[in-house]
Amino acid sequence: MPIRQLSLKGSDIDELAAALSSLCLRTEAVLESREAVSYNIHSITAGPISLIAGVYEGDLTVRHRSPTETDVIILPLSGRSVVTMNGQEMLSEGTRGVFVNSLAASATRFIGSRRHLGLRIPRDELIRRLALRLNMSIRGHLDFAPDIDLSTASGSLLVRLSALMYTGLADGSLVQSPIALSNLTETTIELLMEAARHRYSSDLLYRTGEPPLPRSVKRAIDYMRAHISEPITVNDIAAASGVSPRTLQQGFRDFRDTTPFAFLQRLRLEAAHRELMTGGSDLSVKQVALKWGFVHRGRFSADYRKRYGVLPSETLRSSGSSSAD
């Protein structure tokens, strides 16, 4: 696996802009700062993945003028930064990571003392790995949510494994073990797929859950997907599954750690999120909410914000729609 490295340390923002532009192919980085700044950056590329260790001092904003073919995942180690994508601000600190969509107009502001790890992965590689994992064809965008909860098991492991991989590449030890490096690369991408929410998160959970799902739970999930926009009840789902509502409830508690209704609501929220991300000149939040079975718009907005960190109207506006209400 070929290894490429780039190190940069100093306080010249023009030099830093040129270096960041070289890291992000097919785009140009523009830096803005009203005060003296300093930086220490080391980037290591191993096959399809790049790890970037960055240390910044001062108040600095980096803007990318055009889309790229590589997504960036920001894993905070200390300090604070704010990432803006299509007008939506995402705070990155503590256990709050950010998935920077390569197709979105973006800017990152580093505030004060900041340390983080960045993962750069080509969008095509993410699609390829997910298709292999699910054994299915992947079409369209993956629609990664911008926020990543790094306090989860997969999120915490993603940070630790990324740091371990960076250290091993920086000191040369991993270069001497190409098999271990290849396995670490694959595992890192797998953990990202589990830690970050995307259009196929439910499929990932459904197809890789252990132990295997009972037939009744599998039938219930299939029925939910087939009738997701219809006003179905738990009794309807139980009847389609061939078990009593009580047995169905217990099955979901045991194998999905939730209730059938909560699982259905999650599927509907994901469907609504995909449609809001797509946008449309005549699309409104009310239309989307009603389409996916959310009668109470206020409750829909609250649940949506709890899951995605923004209001549905903000997602619709960021998609370019002019009719967000």
Whichever domain contains 259, its CATH number is: 1.10.10.60
CA distances from 231 to 66, 236, 255, 274 (A): 43, 10, 24, 20
Token pair belonging to 48: 């399809």
CA pair distance 262, 256, nearest whole angstrom: 10
Residue 121 pairs with which residues in a beta bridge?
A: 71
pLDDT at 247: 93
Tell me which residue of 136, 96, 129, 91 sits closest to 109, measured CA to CA: 91
pLDDT band at 98 (very low <50, low <70, confident <90, very high): very high
pLDDT of residue 246: 93
pLDDT band at 25 (very low <50, low <70, confident <90, very high): very low
Question: Residues 173-195: what's their mean pLDDT?
Answer: 87
pLDDT value of residue 73: 93
Backbone angles phi and psi of 100, in degrees to 5:
-95, 105
180 and 61 in a single domain? The answer is yes
Q: Say if 323 falls within a structural domain.
A: no
* Domain end point (choices 160, 195, 230): 195
Indicate the pLDDT class of residue 160, thresholds 50, 70 and 90: very high
Contact indicator for 67, 28 with CB cutoff of 8 Å: no
The answer to whether residues 242 and 99 belong to one domain is no
Query: Which domain range does residue 225 map to?
Result: 209-318
Q: For the residues of 239-262, what is the DSSP string, one character each?
A: HHHTS-HHHHHHHHHHHHSS-HHH
Mean pLDDT across 261-277: 86
Q: Is residue 175 part of a domain?
A: yes
Q: Which of 47-56, 167-176, 178-187, 259-268 has the lowest mean pLDDT?
A: 178-187
Given this model, what pLDDT does residue 166 score?
Answer: 92
Q: Are residues 215 and 184 in the same domain?
A: no
Residue 26 pLDDT class (50, 70, 90 cuts): very low
Of 124, 30, 127, the C-alpha closest to 69 is 124
Please indicate, yes or no, whether residues 21 and 47 belong to a single structural domain of this protein: yes
| pTM of the predicted model over 0.85 | no
* Location of structure tokens 């009972």: 214
- Give CA–CA dist 237/220, Å, rounded: 6
Cα dihedral 203, 76, 5, 41 in deg (nearest 10): 160
- Residues of the chain with pLDDT > 70, as a percent, come to 87
Query: Contact 167/109 with Cβ under 8 angstroms?
Result: no
Please compute the mean of the pLDDT values over residues 155-172 and round it to a whole number: 92
Mean pLDDT computed over every residue of the chain: 83
Q: How confident is the model at residue 66 (pLDDT cuts 50, 70, 90)?
A: low
